[in-house]
A and B are shown apart, each in its own frame.
Chain A
């Protein structure tokens, strides 16, 4: 299977550009993949990795650029076309069907059949061959996939790729769902595949893994290739982190007025744990202070916020507001105590998209707006309009469906919800996700103004500059542990990345 000339690239992507309405996700990405190599794709959240692999998988059509396979230009116009060209993708959320057997999953969509009857015996024997090729002959073809571990499901997913004669397999953070023993196993399989000439495009945040199995690295930043075909062995970690962070889009962050030492502690979290996710997290926030949580996706930062809020029941530890303990696992208690959450997935966790703005804003404040269960719509609209004006919500009308608002204005409506309710502690999970660059500064200003008015704010963001620029104090989270805590001014992006990436190595 290995090509005669090992230097001839198997897959080339040249000048890939992908525009979405209102945003450019990719702005000139190049990628060369050699046969039999493990090519690592590195980049921060939002650098364009997912968009790139979706282009490769045929889920997105590039706005410009060419893709070549064996030097021939190809069009990947739909997911099946990708498979026909020998490109298979293993997504992070494994796309296997739990209720089907191993063999049925592998041949899903290209069943071997004659006259409509599946050829069970042929399928079974080919499945056994594939499993042996992947070094897992112990997984029987007739086993139901739902009974397999995450690692087993990955093997099935890889076998499916091989059954389609895939020559390039894209793996999106495959180790994220595995424990360290399983990761070793995965790497053995990857070695097996590359020795057969299959190329792997490997996406991971974990530098240690990349050092172990990677051959070359391509670094993406803001939708552009900033590091091309770097040799894994010759490139120092420093260099990689510098490439990934580079010069960032400068956001205007509001001034920090400084929190007085005698400001009362609003929120006090002691030894909070959620088994299997994070453990022994302690933090305290003073009135008027903004504390940021920095960490990778999956480090447990969102879960920490949700547990403080009561949306998840802590297995251990306590949350106190102004010295009073909150009932565990009760959102109602948190809301009643004036804690508000603007969740990470605004659309699926925060908003009633088809309802008008004012109803979204007053959703948590019935105790204030209603008398004896009767709603006063005029009072509702007045309260919503007042906050909409204070937050400069655009368009200003509160009667339109919130679906029609931009991301930034939807986020303002979420903030308005807690302003109408009144909040002493505001928990913000990815406050600028899906918010235009221009509108971000506005959100930052709002958050700072809230803090200046005495609110204690806890912010989670994947964008480290955002955490560092907005917060007074920063906690760095890695693998469910607080690994650093200190003033935001005394730490830089590079140091944070260093901590979260090396610390999270499997």
Chain B
């Protein structure tokens, strides 16, 4: 996986001659080394899981559990990678996800879906997510409100709207075409894991192979330079936040499929897990560098961690402490990298 990411920028991550020469002997770029470090951390976690959980950890069934767990967070993390690469943040993704699950599972939506098929529910979730993201984008790009505040407001407002619509009740999904399309396995792998895989691959191409991705990096690396190069920075930010909202909608569909229920409490505090995974993955919070591969591994690390703790019946409070420690350690390492590359 890490091999795939290198062709995009063999020299980009080798700012100093010294590092370049020492690495080129091994044929590795900075991005590869960072991703290898993440893979090593993931393998270490798996080793711990195997030693403590034995076959309960190392089984295909458990692997699928971990992947399912990672999928919902993972899809949003792909969108968040773009947002953070521009130097922004989106705190609203968790509550937007909650809103999309509620809106897509109301009695009215499900009744319409009975008539026209699952596309109604999916379309509803995607549109609601996209709309929330575009509203964020307009406020941030054209209203010049800092992303933190704009998306914090959306976090509160979307949760409120979800409560209003659901009337604080859990809405059970019993729409047959939706269930048959999104629940269960395909080729032995849960369908929501397939969705995550598709979104991740699409996200990788979008970031590394398209003008959209290049603009995202440019806006995050130096917004003024991007503007003076002729890039419409405001419009691009609008698109990026729209994309983040859209991924929240996709994740909403996946959560509906996994839990079979729409609720205004869905996705509570999910934004924290998402941001943690993206940052641990190596995307710079200040913008200008983003990595989809890193984000995917970051998501897997946290999902595996949770799984190892559950298998060993360890208190979830302890797990929170471990998560905090991992985030701090990852950011400290990142800063060391950033310092070395600018010196």
**A and B interact physically:** yes
The interface bits of chain A over 344-360 (1 if a CB of B lies within 8 angstroms of the residue's CB, else 0) are 00001111111110010
Evaluate contact between A363 and B231: CB separation under 8 angstroms: yes
Assembled-state Cα–Cα distance A188/B63 (Å): 80
Interface flag for B11 (CB, 8 Å): yes
A417 within 8 A of B: yes
B314 CB to closest chain A CB (Å) equals 40
Shortest Cβ gap from A273 to chain B (Å) = 21
Report how many A-B pairs have Cβ atoms within 8 Å.
93
**B222 and A353 contacting across the interface, CB-CB below 8 Å:** yes
Flag B187-231 by CB within 8 Å of A: 1 or 0 each.
000000000000000000000011111110110011011111111
In Å, the complex CA distance between A364 and B225 comes to 10
Q: Which of A354, A370, A377 contacts B221 (CB 8 A)?
A: A354
Separation in Å of the A413 CB from the closest CB of chain B? 12
Which single member of B17, B212, B214, B215 contacts A404 (CB below 8 Å)? Answer: B17
Contact in complex: B15, A403 (CB < 8 Å): yes
Once the chains bind, are B211 and A370 in contact (CB under 8 Å)?
A: yes
Are B228 and A349 in touch, CB under 8 angstroms?
yes
A331 CB–B CB distance under 8 Å: yes
Measured between alpha carbons, how far is A355 from B10 in the docked complex, in Å?
A: 11
Q: Is residue B137 within 8 Å, beta carbon to beta carbon, of the partner chain?
A: no
Residue B232 interfacial (CB < 8 Å) = yes
User: Of the 9-residue stretches A142-150, A166-174, A256-264, A393-401, which lies at the interface with chain B?
Assistant: A393-401
Min CB distance A309 to B, Å, is: 8
Checking A334, A370, A404 against B15 with a beta-carbon cut-off of 8 angstroms, the contacting residue is A404
Inter-subunit contact B225/A351 (CB<8 Å) = yes
A355→B227 contact, CB < 8 A: no
A355 touches B229 (CB 8 A): no
Q: Determine if B218 and A363 form an interchain contact, defined as CB atoms under 8 angstroms apart.
A: yes
| Alpha-carbon gap, A366 to B8, bound state (A) | 17
For chain A, residues 383 to 402, give those with C-beta under 8 angstroms from any C-beta of chain B.
397, 399-401
Contact check, A355 vs B217: say whether CB atoms are below 8 A apart: yes
Give chain A residues whose Cβ lies under 8 Å from the Cβ of B231: 363
Query: B341 to chain A: which residues have CB within 8 Å?
Result: 354
B288 within 8 A of partner (CB): yes
Whether the pair A373, B212 counts as a contact (CB closer than 8 A) is yes
How far, in Å, is B142 (CB) from chain A's closest CB? 14
Residues of A within 8 Å of B, CB-based: how many? 34
Determine the interface band of chain B, counting residues with CB < 8 A from chain A. Answer: 20 to 34
The complex places the Cα of A54 from the Cα of B218 at a distance, in Å, of 34
B11 lies within 8 A of A348 (CB): no
Give every chain B residue within 8 A of A363 (Cβ-Cβ). Answer: 214, 218, 225-226, 229, 231
- In the assembled complex, the Cα of A350 lies from the Cα of B342 at a distance in Å of 17
Residues of the A chain whose Cβ atoms lie less than 8 Å from the Cβ of B226: 352, 363
**CB nearest neighbor in B for A311:** B228
Cβ-defined contact, B222 with A331, below 8 A: no
Closest to B288 in A: A354
Among B11, B211, B224, B227, point to the contact of A400 (Cβ < 8 A). Answer: B11
The docked-state distance in angstroms from the alpha carbon of A404 to that of B18 is 12
In the complex, whether B14 has a CB less than 8 A from a CB of chain A is: yes
Taking CB atoms, residues of chain A closer than 8 Å to B218 are: 352, 355, 363
Known pairs A373-B210, A375-B214; A356 contacts B11 (CB<8 A) = yes
Tell me whether B225 and A377 are in contact (CB under 8 A). no
Residue A140, interface by CB 8 Å: no
Q: When A354-B288, A375-B211 are in contact, do A332 and B225 touch as well, CB less than 8 Å?
A: no
> In the complex, A375→B214 CA distance in Å?
9
Bound form: Cα–Cα A373–B217 in Å: 15
Do residues B227 and A311 form an inter-chain contact, with CB atoms below 8 A? yes
Measured between beta carbons, the chain A residues less than 8 angstroms from B221 are: 352-355
CB distance from A494 to the nearest CB of B (A): 35
Q: Kindly state whether residue B108 has any CB partner on chain A within 8 Å.
A: no
Residue A341, interface by CB 8 Å: yes
- In the complex with contacts A352-B217, A352-B218, A366-B214, A331-B14 CB distance below 8 A: no
Q: Nearest chain B CB to A410's CB is how many angstroms away? A: 12
A343 CB to nearest B CB, Å = 6
Q: Decide if A335 touches B230 in the complex (CB within 8 Å).
A: yes
B159 within 8 A of A: no
Please tell me if the beta carbons of B230 and A331 are within 8 angstroms of each other in the complex.
Answer: yes
Do residues B12 and A364 form an inter-chain contact, with CB atoms below 8 A? Answer: no
Query: How far is B222's CA from A332's CA once the two chains are assembled, in angstroms?
Result: 17
B8 contacts A377, CB within 8 Å? yes
Let me know if B16 is at the binding interface, CB within 8 A. yes
- Closest chain B residue to A367, Cβ basis: B211
CB distance from B216 to the nearest CB of A (A): 12
Which residue of B is nearest A336, CB measured?
Answer: B230
- Of chain A, the residue at the smallest CB distance from B17 is A404
Q: Are A351 and B222 in contact (CB under 8 A)?
A: yes
CA of A353 to CA of B15, assembled, Å: 9
Give complex CA distance A132, B306 in Å: 67
Q: Is A117 an interface residue (CB 8 A)?
A: no
Query: When the two chains form the complex, which single residue of A343, A400, A403, A404 contacts B228, counting CB atoms closer than 8 Å?
Result: A343
Pair B229/A417 contact, Cβ less than 8 Å: yes
Contact A400:B210 (CB < 8 A) given known A351-B222, A354-B289: no
Are the C-beta atoms of B228 and A374 separated by less than 8 Å?
no
Q: Which residues of A contact B227 (CB under 8 A)?
A: 311, 331
B225/A349 in contact, CB under 8 A: yes
- Tell me the bound Cα distance from A476 to B212 in angstroms: 42
- Please name all residues of chain A whose beta carbon is closer than 8 Å to the beta carbon of B289 when the two chains form the complex: 354
Interface check B177, CB cutoff 8 A = no
Instruction: Indicate if B9 sits at the interface (CB-CB under 8 A).
Output: yes
Partner of A332, one of B14, B16, B230: B230
**Sample (17) of A-B pairs whose CB atoms are under 8 Å apart:** A350-B228, A352-B218, A352-B288, A354-B288, A354-B289, A356-B9, A363-B218, A363-B231, A364-B230, A366-B214, A370-B210, A370-B211, A375-B209, A375-B210, A400-B11, A401-B12, A403-B15
Q: Which residues of B contact A (CB under 8 A)?
A: 8-12, 14-17, 20, 209-215, 217-218, 221-222, 224-232, 288-289, 341-342
**Considering the complex of A and B, which 9 residue pairs feature the smallest CB-CB distances, nearest first?**
A335-B230, A399-B11, A352-B221, A366-B211, A363-B229, A401-B15, A364-B229, A370-B211, A364-B230
Q: A331-B228, A350-B229 are in contact. List 7 more A-B contacts (CB 8 A).
A: A311-B227, A332-B230, A348-B224, A349-B222, A363-B214, A366-B214, A400-B11
